[in-house]
């Protein structure tokens, strides 16, 4: 049923009274003005979150708080979010429930209920971004621009303030809030490459996007983040595969990227990349040891796991009363999820990811404009970056998770653009 049919307005005519994005609900003029104000506050908070995400805990928390206040205000005024009915939100809800169950079922020393708050904060951008974009389709590009702006600023700071050995993590001089710089830049590189494919002929946007892609690519190479580099290769290859008709160019991109990384590793034998290529190295052996140890944790409690956020307590090794080894994670999203939330939690997370990819594919197929299609491709490539990087790191928790869920929301929101556009005109926005 069309939006016109729901409201009873004849085709070709405009409504005479104030309308709401909720069918059958009228608003007073002051309510409409307040609703638009809260809607703007929600979007402003999300921009602060996305631009400040790789820099400080304060910026991230402030942005999320502003967005939540805006969203809460809209709900009080009668806003009813339209977030889709294809099972993605159901799977996400099941994942949250199973994560809660893992905390309840955990041994007393493993119960960490505060981790549920962290998970809630991590997932929140998904709902907020999706709600904001469905209300105003143009914000899809707006939020993508915020991510890319954050990448450019971060790249300039990394390049100007840190040497190559310090590029892996950034917190503006403080190590209290380390953020995986590599994965952030890899997602932005893929998103930027997709937008560049649509805007390359634009007189102003094309050169700016080329600069963005080049700068983030340089910064990404300097991070030497192995998972992020591998994810970027896969993501960029996907973008090229989706936008270039002659698919052989995809193989050329992959070959050039791999050769470039190997050359970088050869030029600096003590680099992290060279270390990763050596299966006898201490770092590689440590990863293999943690994965083997994690398999044992999974066998101990396969169904519900040891409790969300409990991994740092599982791998503690003591010597003379002092902690000598305490891995913070399993360095693998799926192994970590199985250890902490069991088969139930990991299965729910997998269901969410699979439904997410399906929705993103549908959004890509239904894109009506080149730039809208590019945003779908870039977001889908960004999700791919996170999943690949998640093979050697934790990419859906805390700061990396916020970026993952944000880019996922951008990727699946395009399917409602036409209908939302009609409601956008009615509301006079």
Spell out the residues 6+ positions from residue 269 whose beta carbon is closer than 8 angstroms to its own.
Answer: none
Look at residue 202 and give its three-state secondary structure. coil
Spell out the residues 6+ positions from residue 233 whose beta carbon is closer than 8 angstroms to its own.
Answer: 254, 257, 258, 261
Q: How many CB atoms lie within 10 A of CB 68?
A: 17
pLDDT at 261: 66
pLDDT at 91: 93
H/E stretch holding 319:
strand 317-319
pLDDT tens for the 429 residues of the chain, in order:
333 333 333 443 333 333 344 444 556 777 888 998 999 999 999 999 988 887 767 888 899 999 999 999 999 998 888 787 678 999 999 999 999 999 999 888 888 999 999 999 999 999 999 999 887 888 888 899 888 888 877 777 665 544 444 444 443 333 333 345 778 888 989 999 999 988 888 888 888 888 888 888 877 777 777 788 888 888 988 898 888 877 777 677 777 777 776 666 666 555 666 555 555 666 677 778 888 888 888 998 999 999 998 888 887 655 555 555 567 788 899 999 999 999 999 999 999 999 999 888 888 888 778 888 899 999 999 999 999 988 888 888 877 888 899 999 998 876 544 454 444 433 444
pLDDT at 262: 67
Task: Tell which residue, 93, 92, 97, has the closest CA to residue 304.
Answer: 97
pLDDT at 267: 60
Q: pTM for this structure?
A: 0.81
- DSSP states of 261-315 as a string? HHHHHHH-TTSHHHHHH-TTSHHHHHHHHHHHHHHHHHHHSTTT-S-TT-HHHHT
Q: How many CB atoms lie within 10 A of CB 320?
A: 5
pLDDT at 255: 78
61, two tokens: 């928390």
Q: How far is Cα 414 from Cα 394, in angstroms, rounded to an integer? A: 28
Helix then strand count (H, E) for the chain reads 17, 4
- DSSP states of 82-101 as a string? ---SSSHHHHHHHHHHHHHH
pLDDT at 64: 93
pLDDT at 17: 37
Q: How far is CA 372 from CA 40, 190, 197, 242, 267, in A?
A: 22, 15, 12, 14, 40
pLDDT at 185: 85
pLDDT at 12: 38
Q: How far is Cα 411 from Cα 414, in angstroms, rounded to an integer? A: 7
Q: How far is CA 51 from CA 46, 153, 156, 378, 398, in A?
A: 9, 8, 13, 18, 16
- Pairing between strand 179-180 and 169-170? antiparallel
260, two tokens: 């470039």
Q: How far is CA 321 from CA 27, 224, 317, 324, 327, in A?
A: 65, 36, 10, 9, 17
Spell out the residues 6+ positions from residue 232 whose beta carbon is closer than 8 angstroms to its own.
Answer: 185, 186, 189, 190, 220, 257, 385
């Amino acid at each position: 049923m069309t939006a016109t049919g729901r409201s009873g307005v004849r085709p070709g005519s405009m409504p005479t009274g104030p309308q709401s994005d909720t069918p059958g609900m009228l608003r007073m003029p002051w309510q409409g003005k307040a609703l638009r104000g809260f809607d703007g506050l929600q979007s402003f908070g999300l921009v602060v979150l996305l631009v400040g995400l790789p820099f400080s805990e304060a910026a991230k928390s402030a942005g999320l708080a502003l967005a939540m206040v805006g969203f809460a205000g809209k709900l009080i005024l009668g806003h009813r979010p339209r977030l889709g009915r294809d099972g993605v939100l159901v799977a996400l809800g099941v994942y949250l429930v199973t994560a809660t169950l893992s905390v309840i079922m955990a041994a007393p020393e493993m119960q960490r209920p505060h981790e549920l708050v962290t998970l809630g904060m991590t997932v929140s951008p998904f709902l907020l971004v999706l709600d904001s974009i469905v209300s105003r389709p143009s914000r899809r590009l707006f939020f993508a621009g915020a991510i890319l702006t954050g990448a450019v600023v971060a790249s300039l700071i990394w390049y100007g303030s840190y040497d190559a050995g310090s590029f892996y993590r950034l917190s503006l001089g403080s190590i209290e809030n380390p953020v995986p710089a590599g994965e952030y830049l890899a997602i932005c590189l893929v998103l930027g490459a997709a937008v560049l494919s649509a805007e390359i002929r634009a007189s102003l946007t094309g050169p700016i996007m080329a600069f963005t892609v080049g700068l983030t690519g340089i910064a990404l190479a300097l991070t030497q983040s192995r998972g992020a580099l591998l994810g970027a290769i896969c993501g960029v290859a996907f973008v090229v595969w989706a936008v270039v008709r002659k698919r052989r160019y995809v193989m050329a991109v992959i070959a050039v990227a791999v050769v470039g990384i190997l050359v970088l590793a050869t030029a600096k034998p003590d680099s992290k990349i060279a270390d990763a290529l050596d299966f006898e190295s201490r770092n590689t052996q440590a990863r293999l040891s943690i994965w083997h140890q994690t398999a044992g944790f999974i066998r101990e409690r396969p169904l519900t796991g040891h409790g969300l956020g409990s991994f740092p307590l599982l791998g503690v090794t003591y010597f003379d009363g002092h902690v000598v080894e305490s891995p913070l994670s399993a360095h693998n999203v799926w192994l970590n999820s199985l250890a902490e939330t069991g088969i139930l939690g990991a299965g729910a997370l997998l269901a969410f990811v699979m439904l997410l990819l399906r929705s993103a594919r549908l959004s890509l197929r239904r894109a009506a404009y080149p730039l809208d299609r590019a945003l779908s491709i870039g977001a889908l490539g960004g999700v791919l970056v996170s999943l690949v990087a998640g093979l050697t790191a934790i990419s859906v928790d805390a700061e990396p998770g916020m970026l993952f869920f944000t880019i996922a929301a951008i990727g699946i929101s395009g399917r409602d653009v036409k209908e939302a556009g009609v409601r956008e005109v009615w509301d006079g926005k």
